[in-house]
A and B are shown apart, each in its own frame.
Chain A
Amino acid sequence: MVTTGVGIDVVDVDRFRLVLERRPRILDRLFTDAERRDAHAQPERLAARFAAKEAVLKTLGIGAGVTPWRSIEVTLDAAGAPSVVLHEHASEIAQSQGVGHLHLSMTHTDHLAAAFVVGSSKDEVRGG
């Protein structure tokens, strides 16, 4: 397994909160139903998930608008550990780059949310 790319992003939670109040409809465009459920409508958790999506774009070396926000999904396992699941176009892009897995870490305070992503190649590439 080799590293294919890294990405990091921070989001200003206060500004994010304000936008969600003023334009609540962007929630539907940015997040899947499951993500909204996991975040319990808390702006700092939503902000961290948005940072994760931006970090994924950076890891893949593509810009916003290349693939829908909802095609990059942050999921939680039973223990609450986050991971990234790609759908549709995002999944195709990752596949074409030989990216097998995206490792995600998120954090937030009341004012700042951050995410860090590492892309790695598929397991079969490992070794020689």
Chain B
Amino acid sequence: MKSVAVEGVRRPAWAEVSASAIRHNVRALRAVVGEAAICAVVKANGYGHGPVLVAQAAVEGGAASLAVALVDEGLELRRAGVTAPILLLTEIPSETIPDAFGANLTLTVGSLEGARAASRWAESLGGTHRVHVKVDTGMHRMGVMPADLDQVVDCLRASPNVELEGLYTHLSVADGPSVADRAFSESQIERFDDLVAGLAARGVTPAILHCANSAGALGYPSSRHTMVRVGLSLYGYLPHEWLAGALDEKGQHLTPALALRAQVSAVRRAPAGARPSYGRRRALARDATIVTVPFGYADGYPRHLFEGGAQVLINGKRYPLAGMVTMDQLVVDVGDDDVAIGDDVVLLGGQGGDFVGADEWADWGGTITWEVLTGLGARVPRVLVD
């Protein structure tokens, strides 16, 4: 068998992550959002790409700050030497606040209890600790209800050790192109702006105001405020096609940053009527060459993509799966084409002028691009390219 092409990788399947694509995407988004700062969202293992290398590339591209969901995700970045501001997007358990403040992570407060805990810990630790308040303008998942905002803000401002640096909210259908979705997003932004104005009238003027996720940043200029939080678009994908307009207008485009590559690990000829893989789901219509690719559902290739019509690229050509995806391997029907062990396979990304995107996987699997990317397995080596 041909040796694995990448140094330090002991399996013939790996993810290539392009730092230049991440940098490029940050620049493209900066061109669109103008004055607003870019906060690169690198939670969930950097959307499957590897958080540290994405964080570094994003900062190089001009991101002013980073965001993660969990304390551990923030600590991992700090251990790797990342010094940019890191915002925790969820309200963390009270007892973990010292770890977060100790690593200079910026806390999200989404409740009065959270505000009290943040103030208490900030005072007992001393120094100044940054907090963003998240307000619920319609997502109804977390965040301070508008009616309670004054009380939460008063609690935080009463503490000399808390810096109320930011106020934000989250849009729940900003990617939706329908009239109803658009009206709802506009109403969320309006409500946020009203809350900002009401606080300002009281002399409370947090430096960082943010509403926009990728869809907001691209589709709703009024949501950009002083900062936008970009997740999916950072990795080169649009939340929805209708959002491409904002990039087109500026002559910009996004570049997917991740490719999944592998090498053929086995080749066999199977007769018409044979039913490859578990479950014997589909019979070959005619004699065909079946090749095995060492990448399975444990690596993040969803099992049911087979039924959705999934294809892979081998030697620049698309081929369908021949049977159910298994835990470590999948099988491909290459017909009568000449494919040998060690030949290059692209599961995600470009080869020979063709391209298989994570959004295409999502269509095959009846899911969303976000789930595809964040579902890539921990045991898939991430290799930084360029």
Answer yes or no: do A and B interact: yes
Q: Which residues of A contact B (CB under 8 A)?
A: 11-12, 15-16, 18-19, 22-23, 26, 29-30, 47, 50, 62-66, 68-69
List residues 148-170 of chain B with CB under 8 A from any CB of chain A.
148-150
Task: Tell whether, in the assembled complex, residue B193 and residue A29 are in contact, meaning their CB atoms are under 8 Å apart.
Answer: yes
Q: Which residues of B contact A (CB under 8 A)?
A: 135, 137, 145-150, 190-191, 193-198, 200-203, 205
Neighbouring A residues of B205 by C-beta, 8 Å: 19, 22-23
Task: Tell whether, in the assembled complex, residue B198 and residue A65 are in contact, meaning their CB atoms are under 8 Å apart.
Answer: yes
Task: Tell whether, in the assembled complex, residue B195 and residue A30 are in contact, meaning their CB atoms are under 8 Å apart.
Answer: no
- Sample of 9 more A-B contacts, CB < 8 Å, known A26-B201, A63-B145: A11-B202, A19-B201, A19-B205, A30-B197, A30-B198, A30-B201, A47-B201, A69-B194, A69-B198
In the bound complex, CA of A64 to CA of B204 (Å): 14
Choice from A11, A26, A63, A69 contacting B146 with Cβ under 8 Å? A63
Closest B residue to A70 by beta carbon equals B194
Query: Nearest Cβ in chain A — how far from B208, in angstroms?
Result: 14
Neighbouring B residues of A50 by C-beta, 8 Å: 201
In the bound complex, CA of A26 to CA of B202 (Å): 12
Neighbouring A residues of B135 by C-beta, 8 Å: 65
In the bound complex, CA of A19 to CA of B227 (Å): 20
Neighbouring B residues of A30 by C-beta, 8 Å: 197-198, 201
Are A65 and B201 CB-contacts (below 8 A) given A29-B193, A29-B194? no
Task: Tell whether, in the assembled complex, residue B147 and residue A26 are in contact, meaning their CB atoms are under 8 Å apart.
Answer: no
Task: Tell whether, in the assembled complex, residue A65 and residue B203 are in contact, meaning their CB atoms are under 8 Å apart.
Answer: no
In the bound complex, CA of A81 to CA of B194 (Å): 27
In the bound complex, CA of A68 to CA of B202 (Å): 16
Task: Tell whether, in the assembled complex, residue B203 and residue A64 are in contact, meaning their CB atoms are under 8 Å apart.
Answer: no
Neighbouring A residues of B197 by C-beta, 8 Å: 26, 29-30, 69
6 pairs, A vs B, C-beta closer than 8 Å: A11-B202, A16-B201, A26-B197, A26-B201, A65-B194, A69-B197
